Structure 1
Amino acid sequence: MTLEEFKEKHYDKRGTKERGELEGGYENFKIGSLLQEARLEKGLTQEELAKKAGTTKSYISKIENNIKEARISTLQKIVEFGLDGHLDLSIRL
C-alpha cells in the first residue's frame, strides 16, 4: 500500500475535513523538523537562534516540537536572520 492509498483509506480523499487536518498537522510537523535540522546544522542552540532572530527560546522550542504554528513572517525572520538562510514557499494545485 502506498502512502497515498493509506491516507485515502484512513483519512478519506483530499478536500475532506479529516484529510485536511491530517495534512495540516503534517505540514506543521515538517516545518518544525526542518527548522530543528537547520538549526543543528548551523551549530546553534535554540537560545542562540532565538536571539539572532529576535524571538524567544520558548517560541523556537514550540515550533520545533509542533506545539505552536509559526506565522510565515516570523518563520521568514527566523530563517533569514537566525539561520542566514532563505525561506522558499510554493503552492501546488
Structure 2
Amino acid sequence: MLKKTKTLTLEQFKEKHYGKRGSAKRDQLEKGYQEFKLGTLIYEARLEKGLTQEELAEKCGTNKAYISRIENDLKEVRISTLRKIVEVGLGGQLNLSIKL
C-alpha cells in the first residue's frame, strides 16, 4: 500500500523549516537566497554572452578571481561595480527594484 505524503508549497516548506517571515533564521535564508541569485544571474549572463571569467573581468576592469568570487557568492558586490559588470562587461542594462 502506498503511503500518502502531504506536499508542501515552497512557502510552507520555508515556514516549517526556517520559521515565519521576520524571524532571524528565515531572514538569513532569504538574504542568502538573494545573494545566491545574483551570482547565478551573472554567471548565466556571462555564459550566454560566450565570455570566460577572464574576458568579462578584462572588459570591466577587474580580475578573474573577483568575478569568480561574485559568481560563487563568496564576495558581496557594490552596486556601482555590479552596474559596470552588467553594462560594460556584459553589454546589458541593470534594473533594480524594491518590493515592500
Q: Normalising by structure 1, what TM-score?
A: 0.96
4+ aligned runs moved over 6 Å, structure 1: none
Consecutive unaligned residues of structure 2, counting only runs of 5 or more, are 1-7
CA distance, structure 1, for counterparts of residue 26 and residue 51 of structure 2: 35
Q: Choose the corresponding residue for 1:31, options 29, 34, 38.
A: 38
1:72 Cα deviation (Å)? 1.4
1:31 Cα deviation (Å)? 0.6
Q: Choose the corresponding residue for 2:90, options 83, 89, 93.
A: 83
CA distance, structure 2, for counterparts of residue 75 and residue 37 of structure 1: 15
Q: Aligned residue for 1:22?
A: 29
Give the secondary structure class of the aligned counterpart of 1:86. coil
Matches within 5 A, 1:49-64: 49-64=56-71
Q: CA RMSD in A?
A: 0.7
Q: Choose the corresponding residue for 2:77, options 70, 75, 79.
A: 70
CA distance, structure 2, for counterparts of residue 91 and residue 14 of structure 1: 17
Identity of aligned residues (%): 69
The letter for the 2-side match of 1:76 is R
Larger radius of gyration: 2
CA distance, structure 1, for counterparts of residue 66 and residue 20 of structure 2: 33
More helix by share: 1
1:16 Cα deviation (Å)? 1.4
